[in-house]
Amino acid sequence: MRVLGYIFLTMDKTAAVAVAEQQRAIQAYGKTRGLMVDDFFIEQGYSMKSPLRERKQGAAALSGLRAGDALIAMKAEWVLGSAREAVRLLQALKEMSVSLYCVDLDENLSVAAERKLVVSEGGAPLIMAVLTALAACDGSRQGETIKSTKRHQKKEGKYLGGPVPFGWRVEGEYLVQDQKQQQIIQDIMQLRLDRWSYRDIAGKLKEEYGIQLSHEGIRRILASNSRKKEEERKRGASDKIPSQAQ
- Looking at per-residue pLDDT, the higher value among 175 and 201 belongs to 201
**Pairwise CA distance, residues 230 & 165, whole Å:** 14
Mean pLDDT, residues 207-224 = 84
In this prediction, residues 132-159 reach a mean pLDDT of 56
pLDDT band at 43 (very low <50, low <70, confident <90, very high): very high
Helix, strand, coil share (%) of the chain residues, nearest 5: 55, 15, 35
For 44-69, the pLDDT digits (tens) are 999 888 899 999 999 999 999 999 99
Asked if residue 27 lies in contact with residue 120, where contact means CB atoms within 8 angstroms, the answer is no
pLDDT of residue 245: 40
Q: Which amino acid is at 81?
A: G
DSSP state string for 124-152: HHHHHHHHHHHHHHHHHHHHHHHHHHHHH
pLDDT at 123: 46
Domain boundaries, the chain: 3-109, 168-238
Q: Which residue has the higher pLDDT, 126 or 47?
A: 47
Round the average pLDDT of the chain to a whole number and report it: 79
For the chain, give the percent of residues with pLDDT over 70.
Answer: 75
CA 23 to CA 12: how far, in whole Å?
Answer: 19
**8 and 73 in contact (C-beta within 8 Å)?**
yes
pLDDT greater than 80 at residue 134: no
Please give the class, per CATH, of domain 3-109. alpha beta
In the predicted structure, residue 138 carries a pLDDT above the cut 70: no
Q: Report the distance separating Cα 93 and Cα 112, nearest Å.
A: 11
Q: What is the pLDDT of residue 151?
A: 56
Categorize the per-residue pLDDT at 243 as very low, low, confident or very high, splitting at 50, 70 and 90.
very low
Closest CA to 128 of 149, 144, 105: 105
Q: Which regions of the chain does DSSP assign to beta strands (E)?
A: 3-9, 39-44, 70-73, 99-102, 107-108, 168-171, 174-177
